[in-house]
Structure formats: structure tokens, C-alpha cells
Amino acid sequence: MSVRPIVKYPDQVLRQKAKTIPVVDKSIKALVDDMIETMEAGSGCGLAAPQVGVSLRCIVLGMPEEEPFAIINPEFVKRLGEREIEEGCLSVPDLGGHIKRSISVIVKGLDRNGKPIRVRGKELLCQALEHEIDHLNGVLFIDRVESPDKLFKKEKPVEVEAKDAVAELVSKR
Ligand code: ZN
């Protein structure tokens, strides 16, 4: 397993419609394993194959405190409700946006071993499923923002070294 570089917007591969995977063979399992490792290294809750430069229909999901999993050739069975939420993307690192997503979805596809699966997702998992399947169709969350004021620049987190903070406290005494 290895962490693969994440393709960033505006790379072309992010705009292509990814191809259906005909057979879940060893190379696909290796892709899934690398994608899970890459997602975790980037602290993302989902990743689509085009984000590692592979234009195939494969996504991985990683919800907090749950085992990460893959869906190969995912398809929506059902989408219910609508809500506005904040979204970001490992391929669009500088921007965030407020967009509309469903409240719950059912997605079918194949697991890492090529067995049929059905995944029911609510809230965060629902959002991640819709976001990652969008990637397979060349769609980014920035396309779903209804007006420019719903898009914002992410502020870089301020990193303060613990020892500097302590030194500052001590010097103020
Ligand atoms: Zn994304």
C-alpha cells in the first residue's frame, strides 16, 4: 500500500467521466488499498479514483471511527430530501462552499472483493457518497455552488508550537 499524490483542480482528469470497472482484479484491489491510505493521509472522509489520476469508477469512504470501505461502479438507487451544508474537497484545497445535498441515499455497487453491496447513507456518509460519485462524473462541489457568495476561501489553520505558547505565557508574567 502507498499514499498516491492527490490530483488538484483544474487538472483535466477531474473533468472526465470515469470508466466502469469490468473486473475487480488484483490491480483494482491495490488501487482501493492505496486510495484508502491516501484518503486517511489527507484526513478526508472520501476519495474517488480520478483524484489519484485514475479515471475509473471506484470510490472509498471513511467515516469517523468506522472501517473504511470501497464501492466499485457505484450507482444511486434512491436519493431523499435536501439540506444545505458546508463542503470541501482534497482536490480543491483552498476553497469551501455551501451547497445542497440529499439527506439520505442508497447506493449499490461492488465491494473490494467484487461482491454486490448496497450502502445506505445518512448525513455525512450521504454527503460523501454524493460528493465522490460526482467526481466519477467529472463534477466538483464548486460546480454545485448556486452563487459566488456561497464559495469561500479557506483560512490556513494557525499553527502555534506548544513551547512557543508556553514561552509567551511565561514572558508575560
Ligand atoms: Zn472531492
Domain spans of the chain, in order of start: 12-171
Q: What is the mean pLDDT of residues 91-106?
A: 96
Q: Which residue in 41, 18, 37 sits closest to 29, CA to CA?
A: 37
Q: Which residue in 65, 82, 71, 67 sits closest to 135, CA to CA?
A: 71
Tens digits of residue pLDDT in 9-58: 999 999 999 999 999 999 999 999 999 999 999 999 999 999 999 999 99
Give distance in angstroms: CA of 155 to centre of ligand 1: 18
Give distance in angstroms: CA of 13 to centre of ligand 1: 13
Give distance in angstroms: CA of 168 to centre of ligand 1: 39
Among the options 65, 132, 146, 155, which is catalytic? 132
**Half-sphere exposure of 80 toward its Cβ, with a 13 Å CA cutoff?**
10
- Count of CB atoms situated within 10 Å of the CB of 27: 12
Give distance in angstroms: CA of 165 to centre of ligand 1: 35
Residue 66, pLDDT score: 95
- Per the annotation, the verdict on 132 as an active-site residue is yes
Residue 163, pLDDT score: 56
Give distance in angstroms: CA of 113 to centre of ligand 1: 24
| CATH 3.40.50.150 fits domain 12-171 | no
What average pLDDT is seen over the chain? 93
Q: How does residue 161 score in pLDDT terms, banded at 50, 70 and 90?
A: low
The position carrying cell 459566488 is 148
Q: What is the mean pLDDT of residues 142-163?
A: 81
Residues 6+ apart with CB under 8 A from 112: 24, 29, 32, 69, 70, 72
Give distance in angstroms: CA of 87 to centre of ligand 1: 9
Q: What is the mean pLDDT of residues 104-116?
A: 98
Residue 155, pLDDT score: 82
Q: Which residue in 133, 121, 5 sits closest to 63, CA to CA?
A: 121
Q: Which residue has the higher pLDDT, 172 or 9?
A: 9
Residues 6+ apart with CB under 8 A from 45: 39, 61, 62, 63, 64, 124, 128
pTM score: 0.89
